[in-house]
Structure 1
Amino acid sequence: MKFNRLLIFLKQRRFRTTSNSRERSTIFALSSGHGRCGVAVIRVSGPASSTTLSCLTGGRPLPTARAATLRPLLEPGSGERLDSALVLWLPGPHTFTGEDCCELHVHGGLAVVSGVLGALGCLAGLQPAQAGEFTKRAFQNGRLDLTEAEALGDLIHAETEAQRRQALRQMAGDLGRLYRGWSGRLTRCLAHAEADIDFGEDDNIEEGLLGRVDTEVRDLQAELGRHLCDSRRGERLRGGVRVAIVGPTNAGKSSLLNAMCQRPAAIVSPVAGTTRDVVEAALNVGGYPVLLSDTAGLRETADTVEREGVRRARERLEQADIVVVVVDAAELPPDVVPFLQRYLSEVSSSPESQQRRADADWLVVCNKTDLVPPRDWDRLCLAAEQRGLPRVCPLSCKTGSGFDGFLQLLGERVEKMCGDPLAGSPSLTQARHRLHLQSCAHALAQYHRHRQLDLVLAAEQLRLALRQLGKITGKIGAEEILDVIFRDFCIGK
């Protein structure tokens, strides 16, 4: 492949953002959430933002840029006063979307907000914003990459302290910088490989170039592998650690759920088999998100509905990150440890459950300790640990005895599973990222397979790997490869 054909080949892979009438329009939306409130913020973005602000304020000149100014808002047609608002004029490109913007801080009554939005809808060239359109324009105008845009969504939906910290770190660009760094190194490898293909017979290519490419690709493989082997910390923190409460009927599973939720989330009854479906609750445990599932009692039954509940219980067990097995302390035999060994084997009898038992964290809760004579629980817990059993937590949902210790232990397990979002290398947060990185790692492995056979095929694997990284950040282009070729090699002078 000659250089001019290489140039055409690369340019054909240029990432183009097609502009249309929608992207050139001016959009508006309520940005502060719906419902009655003290102050509501309405955002306008696009080329007509300045004329929109001038029109709504009775033709007055634009206020000082980025300075809040009190102005009356008027109905464009009749001149009727809609509200007195703080308005901000935000000229681009140094705005969230990269476009000219204005903001209207109005009183948060429903009639006021509806009146101002109605007035904006009557202006020529303005359209109501679609879901996520402000952030989409910020991405298209280079203000955010895809990882930062996704982090903004995570920050908006964050419910715990740890989720907030992870989203803020990703929004600050830590994850994007990591991937862009890998993309830059991979771009250099691809450029060097392409240059050797086209000009390897000339004297312009230095010796040992491909050897250094091979070394760099192996280093990238190792870094990608370490990044992927993170036990899904970031994804768990983003979506919540899945905790399944399982065990026999009438052991107190629903009582434990209610105690953890501090409300009657599930029906509690002395009738065995009361819970027949999965009852879910989202909790904040020590600043970390937990998705708690109470399940039907595990037993053989002829009841069709209860049998479906048992099937769903086993399904949740296999999906769980942490399994809490609840047993009735009043029904424990004297030889507790062998009994627990047998019961846990029965609970994880299916191959899927056995695999989840190896992957997940397990805790055993001995409930109803208020109904049994005092026992040396510390010695029992030690004996269970010595036999390779999960941690045993004696407690009483009725009296609350031992409950704080159980919550503390669960919190420690959740924290260990998610890790500190501010420590170490940034974590993977999206299943989408993981899929693209796995495809990238596969392409790098294929590079070594083709390297000695056909350098053109090997270079194509580098290009595929680079494209997978670009899909994560949203930057997929070929100009960078050309830049490296021209910078590193004085081809044609």
Structure 2
Amino acid sequence: MRAGDTIMALSSGALPAGVAVIRLSGPLVRTALTFVAGSLPKPRHLALRAIGASRQLDQGLVAFFPAPHSFTGEDCAELQVHGSPAGVKAILAELRTQGLRLAEAGEFTRRAFENGKLDLVEIEGLGDLLGADTEKQRQQALARYDGRLTAEIDIWRDTLLDLRAEIEARLDFSDEGDVSEDLPEHWQVQLADLELAIASAMASVESGRIVREGIRVALAGAPNVGKSSLINALAKSDIAIVSDEAGTTRDVREVPLDIGGQLFLLLDLAGLRATESRAEAEGIRRAEQAIASADVVLWLRAPDVPDVPRPTTNGRLLVVGTKADLGPVDGQDLSVSTQASQGLDTLVKTLGTLGESLAGAEPALVSHERDRAALANALDALAETRNALGDWELAAESLRLASAALERLIGRLDAERVLDRLFASFCIGK
């Protein structure tokens, strides 16, 4: 990634396609666009142009976005042409003669960050938005990308500046008679309100993670209790192997399911039992790990299969009686029969209700482990401030550390390592 270069990329996905969008950014955009499209169109307006310099390569719509009012903050342009592999290849080759190079993964977005168009949390929101599969993921990612978390952090930072100003005044003017040694009453109120706001945001990290990554639902129980059959019935596909032979499931299989706009990851696990098979024993070990970390555990019991001891879990537990066409089981919360298609709608509705309680009604603005770490550091620094009020220098330093934790979250400090990891996951042309 080299600053000062003019970059180009196909931003619209795999070819062939109905339309291909070629994106440009950098100091040579005006020259290159004039070369391939004849002249610069009116800024932020689409113009129909013949594409090609010495010969016509295609015909399409051209848009020009002058700096700084563009996605990257540089001069940008887009060519909307026919999605022909040969046509796009020829256009890119002609642009290369004007000194443009192909962009690296995430380079357009990185330039937006470096030019102050997006901060780090907004970029993470953009990444989440690009990867959103469900409606709740889209809502949550868009809230972050739209800058709502950044706005909250700006409020917290302004409060920290006010708190620090009172402390700094006592450091710098301690010998002045008009500066009291005691902090004003509103200072303590401001500090308490700030701690409460950051703690409330931190408490929503888990619900945000659940929306972003999906609710992990472990289907667990004895062998032949009907786990794979239930997975297939819920997914409406023959994804899992169904057999009368016990121990056929040896690994953890994840099956995504969209229920009410929320992503659920159904985990098809090995049946729990004592075994001398090393392969099956490894599958059981992995199953127990998945059960322990699952958000929801469906403990399956069947009338024709003896129950086994339940392993420890921190997730919500539902006892589901399977093979309901053969009869009920003791202690069941609900029952299903994949053979008779009985109770499946009720199970899906129950999972949807659980999902709403786990994910929350409103989109969470914090959903990454990096969010949790930064907010925890800020809260620790505020707690240290309270303990250091007898020493103004220590209190001021603790408030500075709280500010630094928030600055790090939005990418004002120590952003390079986070950026390298984040942009590596972006597609070319974004």
TM-score (norm 1): 0.80
How much does 1:460 deviate?
0.8
How much does 1:243 deviate?
1.0
How many Å separate the matches in 2 of 1:208 and 1:110? 72
Number of the residue aligned with 1:29: 9
How many Å separate the matches in 1 of 2:357 and 2:57? 54
How much does 1:72 deviate?
1.4
What SS class does the counterpart of residue 117 from structure 2 fall into? Answer: coil
Asked if 1:394 is matched to 2:338, the reply is: no
- Structure 1's 231 and 470: CA in aligned 2 closer, same or farther, altered over 3 A? closer
Question: Which string of whole-angstrom CA distances, capped at 9 and with x for unpartnered residues, describes residues 435-482 of structure 1?
Answer: 110011111111112222x221121111111000111112359xxxxx
Asked if 1:38 is matched to 2:18, the reply is: yes
What SS class does the counterpart of residue 64 from structure 2 fall into? Answer: strand
Q: Is the 8 A contact 2:205 2:367 kept in 1?
A: no
Asked if 1:121 is matched to 2:84, the reply is: no
Equivalent of residue 112 in structure 2, options 122, 138, 160: 138
1:101-180 pair list within 5 angstroms: 101-124=76-99, 126-180=100-154
Question: Which string of whole-angstrom CA distances, capped at 9 and with x for unpartnered residues, describes residues 233-287 of structure 1?
Answer: 1111011111111110000001111111111111110001110111111111111
1:445-464 pair list within 5 angstroms: 445-452=383-390, 454-464=391-401
What SS class does the counterpart of residue 96 from structure 1 fall into? Answer: coil
Equivalent of residue 428 in structure 1, options 359, 362, 366: 366
How many Å separate the matches in 1 of 2:374 and 2:137? 23
Equivalent of residue 64 in structure 1, options 42, 46, 68: 42
Question: Which string of whole-angstrom CA distances, capped at 9 and with x for unpartnered residues, describes residues 145-185 of structure 1?
Answer: 22211111111111001111111222221111111111111
What SS class does the counterpart of residue 54 from structure 1 fall into? Answer: helix
What SS class does the counterpart of residue 93 from structure 1 fall into? Answer: coil
Q: Which amino acid aligns with 1:56?
A: V
Question: Which string of whole-angstrom CA distances, capped at 9 and with x for unpartnered residues, describes residues 340-399 of structure 1?
Answer: xxx5xx212xxxx2xx33xx1111111111123xx6x8xx6xxx4xxxxxx612110112
User: Share of identical aligned residues, percent?
Assistant: 40
How many Å separate the matches in 1 of 2:397 and 2:68? 37
Q: Is the 8 A contact 1:470 1:476 kept in 2?
A: yes
Number of the residue aligned with 1:230: 204
Q: Which amino acid aligns with 2:295?
A: D
Number of the residue aligned with 1:270: 244
Number of the residue aligned with 2:233: 259
Question: Which string of whole-angstrom CA distances, capped at 9 and with x for unpartnered residues, describes residues 213-235 of structure 1?
Answer: 34322221122222222371111
Question: Which string of whole-angstrom CA distances, capped at 9 and with x for unpartnered residues, describes residues 285-322 of structure 1?
Answer: 11101111100000111111000000000010111001
Q: Is the 8 A contact 2:48 2:60 kept in 1?
A: yes
How many Å separate the matches in 1 of 2:376 and 2:240? 41
How many Å separate the matches in 1 of 2:32 and 2:323? 67
Question: Which string of whole-angstrom CA distances, capped at 9 and with x for unpartnered residues, describes residues 115-166 of structure 1?
Answer: 2222222322x22211111111112222222221111111111100111111
Q: Is the 8 A contact 2:205 2:372 kept in 1?
A: no
* CA RMSD, 1 decimal: 2.0
1:184-195 pair list within 5 angstroms: 184-195=158-169
Number of the residue aligned with 2:323: 368
How much does 1:210 deviate?
5.8
Number of the residue aligned with 2:411: 474
Q: Which amino acid aligns with 2:381?
A: A
Pairs aligned (count): 414
Q: Is the 8 A contact 2:170 2:181 kept in 1?
A: no
How many Å separate the matches in 2 of 1:226 and 1:279? 35
Number of the residue aligned with 2:292: 318
Q: Which amino acid aligns with 1:43?
A: R
Number of the residue aligned with 1:486: none
What SS class does the counterpart of residue 333 from structure 2 fall into? Answer: strand
How many Å separate the matches in 1 of 2:55 and 2:93? 13
Structure 2 residue runs without a partner (length 5+):
415-430
Number of the residue aligned with 1:49: 29
- Structure 1's 73 and 367: CA in aligned 2 closer, same or farther, altered over 3 A? same
Q: Is the 8 A contact 1:193 1:210 kept in 2?
A: no
1:302-313 pair list within 5 angstroms: 302-313=276-287
Segment of structure 1 superposing worse, 138-147 or 243-252: 138-147
Q: Which amino acid aligns with 2:368?
A: Q
Number of the residue aligned with 1:408: 349
How many Å separate the matches in 1 of 2:8 and 2:116? 20
Q: Which amino acid aligns with 2:371?
A: H
How many Å separate the matches in 2 of 1:239 and 1:204? 55
Q: Is the 8 A contact 2:205 2:366 kept in 1?
A: no
How many Å separate the matches in 2 of 1:417 and 1:133? 36
How many Å separate the matches in 2 of 1:148 and 1:231? 16
Q: Which amino acid aligns with 1:74?
A: G
- Structure 1's 137 and 231: CA in aligned 2 closer, same or farther, altered over 3 A? closer
How many Å separate the matches in 2 of 1:144 and 1:459? 30
Q: Which amino acid aligns with 1:39?
A: V
Q: Which amino acid aligns with 2:30?
A: S
TM-score (norm 2): 0.91
- Structure 1's 410 and 312: CA in aligned 2 closer, same or farther, altered over 3 A? same
Question: Which string of whole-angstrom CA distances, capped at 9 and with x for unpartnered residues, describes residues 23-75 of structure 1?
Answer: 22211111111232101111111111111101112xx3311111111111115
How many Å separate the matches in 2 of 1:128 and 1:193? 52
Structure with greater helix share of residues? 1
